[in-house]
Structure 1
Amino acid sequence: MTALQTITDLDLKSLSNRRFHPSPVAWEDQVLYFLLLDRFSDGNEQGYRDNRGRPVRKGTTPRFAPADEGNAIGSAVDAAAWRDAGGRWCGGTLRGLTGKMGYLRRLGITAVWVSPLFRQVSFQSTYHGYGIQNFLEVDPHFGSRDDLREMVRVAHDNGIYVILDVILNHAGNVFAYDREPTPFTGDALYPVSGFRDGTGQPSLPFAPLDPATQPAAWPAGAVWPRELQAPESFTRKGFIRDWDRYLEYLDGDFFDLKDLHLGAGDADTFQPSPALLTLCEVYKYWIALTDLDGYRIDTVKHMGVGATRFFASTIHEFAQRLGKENFYLIGEITGGRVNAFDTLETTGLDAALGVDDVPLRLEDMVKGQADPAGYFDLFRNSLLVRKESHAWFRNRVVTMIDDHDQVCRGAKKERFCAGAPKWRTLALNALALNATTLGIPCVYYGTEQCFDGEGGDDRYLRECMFGGPFGAFRSRERHFFDETNPVYREFARILVIRKEQPALRRGRQYLREISGDGVNFGLPHEIGGELRSVVPWARIFDSEELVLAINTDPDQPRRAWVVVDGGLHRAGDRFGCLYSTDPAQLRHKTAVRQATAYLKAIELTVPAAGFIVYRPL
């Protein structure tokens, strides 16, 4: 394809003159799947099912078997090589992802969130995609613009929307200061030695460049498009030390990633910079070229509300011109629920990524290490966000358990299944709870295969689904696209039920009280620092109530009386089992009983480490 060096090369008018894939009516109906492109698929797997469901025999990488666990760390030298591979490019590609849309569709995924894929600085292993050198080109490690277009087309053919992770706050390590170290200064600007060439040397002038006279600038030098090469595009104030100090977190560099100057003023008086105007044109281009359905916006806190509002308005309006009425903008917003809600209200973003409270509280509850009220209260404390109902959380927060950097964990970074083997038996409960409670559920790649992500560093959260040199469970050259995995198989069944039942996607939500004797009721809670209990909740949509429950006890089934809505049910009404991890329960029915003068209840048994769904008959 033609090389693009400046935004004047972008013919948005011609690209926009076609029919585009429409947006979903409601994003809360969707199930997202987040993947790091370098770690997902290289297309060389064998023994998986292709997009049409046919077995693939021609690949070179066999499927993982339990005996393969640890096959990459047989010696100290091997273990060191495996660890080192986790910090480098591993080989996942757009074509690999394209060939796995059937795997995602059969799981029940309806939207795939793909990590940043634009061209990275060539002298560092920024395999994660957050060190962009050229905003107008796909990184050659991943493929080409045509490969991206084909991936989106195949995703749409499989009923899957595509959300792309994008960055406006910073570029990669594209220039060098004339001294080290460079801690944040405040108002003073650090002098710059020059833009870096493809080898990382600051050999290029820190000014707009012409490749004809500066051949080292193209394609791997400086930053592109050319409009970003103006020195005023960068704040040049050094790296952030205090991540919560105002102005420092707005104008400082993310380590060696260079902060872009996006404009000045608060939300109402904001004036966009030329750099922000350039990036708006860039991200319009990618929508028009590829037919994307949404963006996940990185590091919103560090952009500022003015820049975020300007970008959100620009992109929403452009997408609507293309017929994408509900182009989704998800912001990575740190600082808790109040800050997330205020940011959404101020900027016009559609949803916040729930990476603060949600993952840890969900995990601790499922593992029996915290009272369930701590998780469910995240969705019902409406006073905190100055609303009279909790409906905001239904479609304005994206929830997940595992993720790629585990900011919420500090130095103790690991996936849900890390540590004790019993956590793997509870992984389905974690996925089911996330999918059937409020919010837009998102699955982090590999969770459906019980990846453990042990090691404490970011790299261990980013194992390769395709095996390669850095496979999960300390393996290599074994892939994990296993549709016979019990967690994958059962979660797929649960997502079918979620799709069929509006209450599980749009209903109100209530943590329910339980009783062992059918007389004395209370919310499930820890006893002796441990929660081994039935944890039930209700989703009510219109006049229908579904009752769901998990059992946090991994060793034995648990029985409990569970409160149901007294206004919707009469004594003698019956509920039937719609889903259970124990297939023998699927024909079970239970009757509503007047348990006390004020409470009606049904009696339920939840299998060990199990999940159930009951609905009125």
Structure 2
Amino acid sequence: MKKLLLLLFTTIAFAQADKVEPPFWWAGMHNPEFQVMFYGKNIAQYTPSVSNGVVITNVVKTENPNYVFVTIDTKNVPAQQLTFSFKNSKDKVAFTQKYEMKTRKEGSATRESYTSADMMYLLMPDRFANGNPNNDSTKDTNEKVNRENANGRHGGDIEGIIKNLDYIKELGATAVWATPLCEDNDKRGSYHGYGQSDVYKIDPRYGTNEDYLRLSAELKKRDMKLVLDYVTNHWGAEHWMYKDLPTYEWVHQFPGYSQSNYRMTTQFDPNASAADKRQCVDGWFVPSMPDLNQSNPLVLKYLTQNAIWWIEYADLDGFRVDTYSYNDKEGIAKWTKAITDEYPYFNIVGEVWMQNPVHMAYWQKDSKVGAIESYNSNLPSVMDFALYDALQWSFNDDQSGWDNGMQKVYNNFTNDFLYPNINSILVFAENHDTNRINQNYGGDFKKYQMAMAIVATVRGIPQLYYGSEIGMAGDKGKGDGDIRHDFPGGWAGDSNNAFTKAGRTKEQQQYFDVTSKLFTWRKSKEVIHTGKTMHYLPQDNVYVYFRYNDKETVMVVVNNAADSKTFGTARFAERLNGFASGSDVLTGKSIDVTKDITLEGKSVLVLELK
């Protein structure tokens, strides 16, 4: 009898929730209902209730007895401390769990986000700067720091970003997109962060949750924005929930692992087989990245609430969503709508890595292409991979043919009519998954200058990849580590500190100056942010386009030929009418636009017309 009582006492005494997610929530949200996940050994045997008259609207228990999902309605419930009670079969309280409802920041729902008035600086935290060497390796994480390993952890962190925010701002950037900072406890290659193991916790090798909040606050002090790289499609195999799945259908099973065919066209191809479509959407990227099942309501709610939690908690200004088009398309549309319903002005750009503008436009909110099959992704912004494709190599074409050189760049803009919001697409020449353009162009500064001039002056939201502004190169063919080098000067003992003017080489300063000049100029140019575009068919590999509104006109001339070109301006009369000259943003020189213009090979003019 004593042994039985002791066993009963021990069971009651140690009954608890080992994890509660979200860890807290806020009063006064647009959607007053939210779901709390409680995790603990055999926790599903208990019946939950909550204090202060708050109503439980749903309780879900799965085949795994270690989980219980409790939905509560907080309409008209003020910020306060709630108490969840868990009773056993004899209606006795086995344990209780405190839960805080916080007060929202004033104006949180109507927060502004990034727009075409911004320039986004993309960095990889592990490779940018090591501000705190004490957290390079931690006892609770598998992979330790090793700068000798191109694909290993190098020690960059949040403190390193904070220490160099003034450098980023000097470039003309107004927003920072860091690749994922949540814990990635993979044994190898964890530095990129896309195999997350805890989506409520900053990786301790980057810092703490409080450090991330400090990064957000420091950016706002500088009138800059923080963009979180969110991953809805997959987690890492070290994620604690994957090791004890709430339900078999939490991840896609074949059973177990099967790799994606990466054929995203199956998402809308009317002739696609169900098998091919399933293999694309449900297949895993790699064996270490379990593919999440967004068609499962529990998964979708978990991802939605986690995203909203980070926005509210860290005072975020926007998302970039990894592998957007690999998600269950109905599920991801609901996820996106739930976030933008909560925050009407919140921008989310999705990675839709497709070269055909028709395919990319399909994924933007209110797309006429998607409407053909009554689909609306609700996604405000997509990434312009078609323009990226043109900018990667076109400046190596000394002569323009039917569809290469400047003609390829021109062709991209002929499809702008496909996008319901052309000013809300992300434009870039490279990112953390591509060859660096300075590699493709052999370190040719003139070609880099042409590429950046286009990114800085066309419609959309420009994005710059860290290090390009000092001429960094990298060959993806040698592995991802080669396109993700450490930024020089980010580590104690670096021989070259490119974060300071005094520490830059002459070549690095040349790259930095043109980048800073273009994007700093762009900051105040409404004509670039929201103006119209008119372009002219390239001739002799010379491409001319105008950005204009009722107040201003900017003329951009790109000579991609190897030699100098002289051309008349009469064919541009439609836009030049009334203008006599233009001031070149890059050199300050005045150019007479009523006469022939001569432009040296591989060069660009950005003219503010007067």
Structure 2 CA distance for aligned equivalents of residues 315 and 290 of structure 1: 15
- Which residue in 2 is equivalent to 1:189? none
Conserved 8 A contact 1:15-1:289: no
Superposed, 1:191-206 pairs within 5 Å as none
Alignment of 1:130 with 2:130, yes or no, is no
1:82 deviates by 9.4
Alignment of 1:165 with 2:229, yes or no, is yes
Structure 1 CA distance for aligned equivalents of residues 451 and 431 of structure 2: 14
1:477 deviates by 5.9
Conserved 8 A contact 2:395-2:560: yes
Superposed, 1:371-450 pairs within 5 Å as 371-382=405-416, 385=418, 392-395=421-424, 397-406=425-434, 414-418=435-439, 421=442, 423-450=444-471
- Higher mean C-alpha deviation, range 606-615 or range 442-451: 606-615
- Which residue in 1 is equivalent to 2:252? 235
- Which residue in 1 is equivalent to 2:277? 246
- How many equivalent residue pairs? 471
- Which residue in 1 is equivalent to 2:606? 613
Conserved 8 A contact 1:107-1:491: yes
Deviation string 1:284-341 (CA, Å, 9 cap, x unpaired) is 11111110011111111211221111111111122x2xxxx42111111133321221
- Counterpart AA for 1:92: G
Alignment of 1:459 with 2:481, yes or no, is yes
Which of residues 308, 329, 332 is equivalent to 1:284? 308
Instruction: Classify 1:4/1:281 alpha carbon distance in 2 versus 1 (closer, same or farther; 3 Å).
Output: farther
Structure 1 CA distance for aligned equivalents of residues 322 and 291 of structure 2: 13
Conserved 8 A contact 1:38-1:128: yes
- Counterpart AA for 1:562: T
- Which residue in 2 is equivalent to 1:540? 548
Conserved 8 A contact 2:260-2:282: no
- Which residue in 2 is equivalent to 1:331? 350
Secondary structure at 1:286 match in 2: helix
Conserved 8 A contact 2:489-2:499: no
Secondary structure at 2:116 match in 1: helix
Conserved 8 A contact 2:260-2:284: no
Return the TM-score normalized by structure 1: 0.70
Instruction: Classify 1:149/1:612 alpha carbon distance in 2 versus 1 (closer, same or farther; 3 Å).
Output: same
Structure 2, gaps ≥5 residues long: 1-16, 28-100, 134-144, 264-275, 368-375, 399-403
- Which residue in 2 is equivalent to 1:5? 19
Task: Provide the aligned C-alpha RMSD in A.
Answer: 3.0
- Which residue in 1 is equivalent to 2:361? 341
Secondary structure at 2:338 match in 1: helix
Deviation string 1:108-142 (CA, Å, 9 cap, x unpaired) is 00111110111112433311001111111011111
Structure 1 CA distance for aligned equivalents of residues 146 and 251 of structure 2: 37
- Which residue in 2 is equivalent to 1:562? 569
- Higher mean C-alpha deviation, range 130-139 or range 455-464: 455-464
Instruction: Classify 1:576/1:337 alpha carbon distance in 2 versus 1 (closer, same or farther; 3 Å).
Output: closer
Structure 1 CA distance for aligned equivalents of residues 103 and 465 of structure 2: 32
- Counterpart AA for 2:449: L
- Which residue in 1 is equivalent to 2:79? none
Structure 1 CA distance for aligned equivalents of residues 452 and 152 of structure 2: 29
Larger radius of gyration, structure 1 or 2?
2
Conserved 8 A contact 1:170-1:258: yes
Conserved 8 A contact 2:151-2:480: no
Deviation string 1:18-63 (CA, Å, 9 cap, x unpaired) is 2357644771111111111111111279xxxxxxxxxxxxxxxxxx
Conserved 8 A contact 2:157-2:206: yes
Alignment of 1:261 with 2:293, yes or no, is yes
- Higher mean C-alpha deviation, range 558-567 or range 422-431: 558-567
Structure 2 CA distance for aligned equivalents of residues 422 and 392 of structure 1: 35
Which of residues 367, 383, 388 is equivalent to 1:359? 388
Instruction: Classify 1:467/1:20 alpha carbon distance in 2 versus 1 (closer, same or farther; 3 Å).
Output: farther
- Which residue in 2 is equivalent to 1:56? none
Superposed, 1:460-499 pairs within 5 Å as 460-466=482-488, 478-483=496-501, 485-499=509-523
- Which residue in 1 is equivalent to 2:106? 19
- Higher mean C-alpha deviation, range 557-566 or range 366-375: 557-566
Which of residues 298, 302, 311 is equivalent to 1:274? 298
1:371 deviates by 2.9
1:7 deviates by 1.7
Instruction: Classify 1:25/1:242 alpha carbon distance in 2 versus 1 (closer, same or farther; 3 Å).
Output: closer
- Which residue in 1 is equivalent to 2:61? none
Deviation string 1:259-285 (CA, Å, 9 cap, x unpaired) is 11111xxxxxxxx52011011111111
- Which residue in 2 is equivalent to 1:55? none
Secondary structure at 2:261 match in 1: coil
1:166 deviates by 0.8
1:588 deviates by 2.1
Alignment of 1:524 with 2:558, yes or no, is no
Alignment of 1:39 with 2:32, yes or no, is no
Structure 1 CA distance for aligned equivalents of residues 104 and 551 of structure 2: 45
4+ residue runs over 6 A deviation: none
1:550 deviates by 2.6
Instruction: Classify 1:9/1:616 alpha carbon distance in 2 versus 1 (closer, same or farther; 3 Å).
Output: closer
Structure 2 CA distance for aligned equivalents of residues 274 and 468 of structure 1: 42
Deviation string 1:568-597 (CA, Å, 9 cap, x unpaired) is 5547x41221423xx4xx3424143xxxxx
Instruction: Classify 1:145/1:563 alpha carbon distance in 2 versus 1 (closer, same or farther; 3 Å).
Output: farther
Conserved 8 A contact 1:164-1:292: yes
Structure 2 CA distance for aligned equivalents of residues 109 and 225 of structure 1: 40
Alignment of 1:156 with 2:220, yes or no, is yes
Structure 1 CA distance for aligned equivalents of residues 113 and 21 of structure 2: 32
1:9 deviates by 2.5
Conserved 8 A contact 2:114-2:317: no
- Which residue in 1 is equivalent to 2:139? none
Secondary structure at 2:191 match in 1: coil
Conserved 8 A contact 2:294-2:332: no
- Which residue in 1 is equivalent to 2:372? none
Instruction: Classify 1:32/1:4 alpha carbon distance in 2 versus 1 (closer, same or farther; 3 Å).
Output: farther
Secondary structure at 2:299 match in 1: helix
Conserved 8 A contact 1:400-1:434: yes
Percent of aligned pairs with the same amino acid? 20
Conserved 8 A contact 1:313-1:348: yes
Instruction: Classify 1:157/1:303 alpha carbon distance in 2 versus 1 (closer, same or farther; 3 Å).
Output: same
Conserved 8 A contact 1:551-1:607: yes
Structure 1 CA distance for aligned equivalents of residues 559 and 340 of structure 2: 43
